[in-house]
Amino acid sequence: MIVEPGRDFQGLLSSLSGNGARRFVLLPLLHKKQLAGVLAMGIGGESGQAKEDLLRARQIADQVAVALANAGLLEELAQSNWGAMTALARTVDTKSPWTAGHSERVTELALKIGREMGLTAKELDLLHRGGLLHDVGKIGVPGKILDKPDKLTSEEFAMIREHPEKGSRILEPIPAFRDVIPIVSQHHEKFDGKGYPGGLSGEQISLGARILAVADVYDALAADRPYRPAFPPDMVHAIIDKSTGTHFDPVVVQAFQKIISPVEAENISCEDRPATFSG
């Protein structure tokens, strides 16, 4: 049994006694001279058996200490990765005042949809990371295009359409981010195969990208853009409903409708409302 520092040892011994143990050994789990926990084991009653048990306990304690240390390093690395992803998302979003906070808010809505659909913790983690990074390719799009109040030229729109593939190329050299590349590269694909960049359809599109597509378009329609004001909530829902089966996966839209109704959307303040996605 592994015990964290500060636990009640009397209660621990009572627990071990309840399992039939009469003799105990408590061994510290040390990492860099810091107490990470305590390994508690019941040992045999015979002298020879007790020696063997003590040796085995010491070996186990050493292995557990290393495992705890590795887990700590992995946790530190994970936290570092989350920080890097958030920083990347904010770097993209702050290119334009119209997109400030976009990636984080769209990710939040996508996660709500994912939970409603019953995604596993692993799938939600992937969706979370992919959501934060989905527009990272817009780093290469000039701000004057993102902020343009008029209709984009065909050349400008072509530059916008390149951002999924640019994002994939940015992330590909980073091992920790490679598993989110399908979400990043496919979030502009459409369920009927008429999206970009690959013309994928149906379940050829990753589930995370199908979820993000709904959250992203909701975000774009529900927020002010440089070329138009925000659409009212009932119109946003009508547009998404009309695009079900063509642009969007019907299963994802069904979950979205359970998460946020037009009435609920009306009560979301402009500051809290998901905010962006052009192109």
- pLDDT-derived band at 277 (thresholds 50, 70, 90) equals very low
Angle between helix axes 102-116 and 250-259 (nearest 10 degrees) is 100
In a shared domain, residues 68 and 112? no
| Residue 273: predicted pLDDT | 39
In whole angstroms, give the CA distance from residue 61 to residue 28.
Answer: 7
Task: Look at 246 and 40; give whichever has higher pLDDT.
Answer: 246
**What mean pLDDT comes out for the span 26-31?**
68
Instruction: Give yes or no: residues 247 and 211 share one domain.
Output: yes
35-46: average pLDDT: 61
CA distance 106 to 179: 19
Active-site hit among 95, 138, 166, 190 = 138
To the query of whether residue 151 is one of the catalytic residues in this protein, the response is no
159 CB-side CA count, 13 A: 13
Indicate whether 246 and 170 sit together in one domain: yes
Give the CA angle between residues 39, 40, 45 to the nearest 5°.
135
What local confidence, expressed as pLDDT, does residue 258 receive? Answer: 93
Edge-to-edge strands, sheet with 23-31? 2-3, 34-43, 23-31
Q: Residue 125 and residue 180: Cα distance in Å, rounded?
A: 10
Asked if residue 126 and residue 258 are part of one domain, the reply reads yes
Q: Which residue has the higher pLDDT, 205 or 266?
A: 205
- pLDDT tens digits, 206-232: 999 999 999 999 988 888 777 788 888
pLDDT of residue 118: 98
User: What average pLDDT does this structure show over 240-255?
Assistant: 97
225 touches 250 (CB < 8 A): no
Residues 63 and 179 in one domain: no
- Asked whether residue 67 falls in the same domain as residue 103, the answer is no
CA–CA separation, 191 and 41 (whole Å) = 57
Residue 131 near residue 110 (C-beta atoms within 8 A): yes
Whether residue 180 has pLDDT greater than 90: yes
Say yes or no: 119 and 254 in one domain: yes
Q: Has residue 81 been placed in a domain? A: no
Of 152, 131, 132, whose CA–CA distance to 141 is shortest? 152
State both tokens at 93: 């979003």
pLDDT of residue 267: 47
Instruction: Judge whether residue 154 has pLDDT over 50.
Output: yes
> Could you list the residue range(s) of the whole structural domain that residue 31 is in?
2-72
Residue with tokens 């502009």: 188
Predicted pLDDT of residue 23: 64
- In sequence order, what are the residues at sequence separation of 6 or more whose Cβ sits closer than 8 angstroms to the Cβ of residue 35? 5, 28, 29
Residue 142 lies inside a defined structural domain of this protein: yes
User: Considering 57, 72, 87, which residue would you say is the last residue of a domain?
Assistant: 72
The CATH number that applies at residue 123 is 1.10.3210.10
At 274, give phi and psi (nearest 5°). -50, 145
Contacts of residue 95, defined as CB under 8 A and 6 or more positions apart, other chains included, come to: 138, 139, 141, 143, 146
Regarding whether 63 and 103 lie in a shared domain, the answer is no
Cis peptide before 197 (omega within 30 of 0): yes
- Among 39-48, 100-109, 168-177, where is mean pLDDT lowest? 39-48
Work out the angle at residue 24's Cα, subtended by the Cα atoms of residues 26 and 10, and round it to the nearest 5 degrees: 75
How far apart CA 24 and CA 21 sit, in angstroms, is 7
Single-letter residue type at 273: R
How confident is the model at residue 188, as a pLDDT? 97
Distances (CA, A) of 157 to 214, 241, 277: 21, 25, 13
